[in-house]
Amino acid sequence: MAVYTKTGDQGSTSLASGVRVPKTDMRIEAYGTVDELNSWVGMLRAGLQKLSGVSIPNSDEQLEWIQNRLFNLGAALSDAPGEWIIAEDVQQLEQWIDAMQAVVPKQHAFVLPAGSEPVCRCHICRTICRRAERKMIEMNDCKMSQIGSADPGSKTENFELPFMNRLSDYFFVLSRFLGYKNDEKEAIWCKK
């Protein structure tokens, strides 16, 4: 498979459905941001492998699972037919969040995005995840305004937005979990 096709040289690209759209299309912006997030998750995985003296059970497996789901999400945003993100994906993130929440101390204040490199990478993933979520909402709003309001009973349940919402929570809790397991003092917002 050739890396370059030259079909995008004039500023357009194909969705999975075969429809060509400008590279500035909201769908491209949405799944491009998801792709950016996936790259940062890879950086987070690399940083966790170098984390000395701290064993974080299943973290690499969880992050690899997340990377695969982000590819699925990109397929869904590219109009590929099929069901790409399912309820069980959201539930899996919730289980991991709950397990980490049971370990870390209760949160009583806003936490600054600071700490060790892996903790900071979690915060970068969290904020890119939120941006991707906003892009997806913007894309959905635009679609709805173009087709009008659909009959709520005819729409199948879509888990892409709940997945992204939960994923940003996962990265936040993972940042706290990593800091706690690495005996880091949590950086707390202090209004002065």
User: Torsions phi, psi of 115, nearest 5?
Assistant: 135, -150
Q: pTM for this structure?
A: 0.87
Q: What is the CATH number of the domain that holds 75?
A: 1.20.1200.10
- Give a yes or no: residue 13 inside a domain: no
Tell me the residue range of the domain where 175 lies.
Answer: 21-99+110-145+158-181
What is the total count of domains within the chain?
1
pLDDT one-digit tens code per residue, 28-42: 899 999 999 999 999
Q: Report the C-alpha gap between 188 and 123 in whole angstroms.
A: 14
The answer to whether residues 121 and 40 touch, using CB atoms and an 8 Å cutoff, is yes
pLDDT in tens, 96-141: 999 999 999 998 889 999 999 999 999 999 999 999 999 999 998 8
Residue 91 resides in a domain: yes
Q: Domain for residue 105, yes or no?
A: no
pLDDT at residue number 132: 97
Residue 149 has pLDDT above 60, yes or no: no
